[in-house]
């Protein structure tokens, strides 16, 4: 078949992206503490900042009550986002925690355990919110957020 005989490809309209309903987000991300363990990421950040100055954000899981950190029950990661007012989220950083006592000798025999803490920094000229998510290998996804005013 020559180039002249090719039939034009049909253009398919891209499906419009829809925002997930709040009910679905609530089913996926939990934000209230579960049992006696602390899973919700704790965000330590200023409530306000000057435009385009460095804002340091510390996120941890288990600040008040330590989360278990064993081979079979641990926090795998923390992700931090900035959501400018009226805009889509921007991922600021991700920390993965990969040592939970594993070793060739078996679970919890390695002697090295990472702690679920992350420090990230950003500059912005827009107000919005800082959102932190974490993942517990047993209890799933967790989320918290705090507002950020910019002047």
Supply the CATH number for residue 122's domain: 2.60.40.730
The answer to whether residue 17 scores a pLDDT higher than 50 is no
The whole-model pTM stands at 0.79
State the Cα–Cα distance between residues 13 and 147, nearest whole angstrom: 37
Told to judge if 74 belongs to the known catalytic residues of this protein, a careful annotator would answer no
Tell me if 62 is assigned to some domain.
yes
Told to judge if 100 belongs to the known catalytic residues of this protein, a careful annotator would answer no
Tell me if 71 is assigned to some domain.
yes
Other Cβ atoms within 10 Å of 37 Cβ, number: 16
Tell me if 16 is assigned to some domain.
no
- Per-residue pLDDT tens digits for 110-135: 999 999 999 999 999 999 999 999 99
Q: In this structure, is the dihedral angle defined by the CA atoms of residues 113, 32, 92 and 121, taken in order, positive or negative? A: negative
Count of domains in the chain?
Answer: 1
Told to judge if 149 belongs to the known catalytic residues of this protein, a careful annotator would answer no
**Active-site hit among 58, 63, 73, 129:** 73
Tell me if 11 is assigned to some domain.
no
**Active-site hit among 38, 74, 100, 143:** 38
What's the domain range around 146? 31-150
- Per-residue pLDDT tens digits for 26-36: 568 887 765 55
CB environment 94-132: b (16+ within 10 A), e (fewer): ebebeebbbeeeeeeeeeeebebbbebebebeebbebbb
């Amino acid at each position: 078949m020559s180039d002249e005989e090719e039939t034009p490809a049909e253009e398919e309209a891209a499906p419009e992206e829809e925002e997930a309903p709040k009910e679905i987000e609530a089913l996926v991300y939990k934000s209230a503490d579960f049992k006696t363990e602390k899973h919700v990421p704790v965000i330590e950040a200023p409530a306000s900042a000057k435009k385009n100055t460095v804002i340091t954000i510390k996120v941890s899981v288990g600040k008040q009550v330590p989360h278990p950190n064993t081979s079979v029950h641990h926090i795998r990661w923390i992700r931090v986002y900035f959501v400018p007012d009226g805009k889509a989220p921007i991922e600021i950083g991700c920390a993965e925690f990969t040592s939970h006592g594993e070793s060739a000798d078996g679970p919890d025999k390695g002697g090295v355990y990472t702690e679920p803490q992350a420090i990230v920094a950003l500059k912005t000229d827009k107000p919005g919110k800082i959102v932190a998510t974490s993942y517990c290998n047993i209890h799933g996804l967790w989320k918290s957020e705090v507002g950020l005013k910019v002047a």
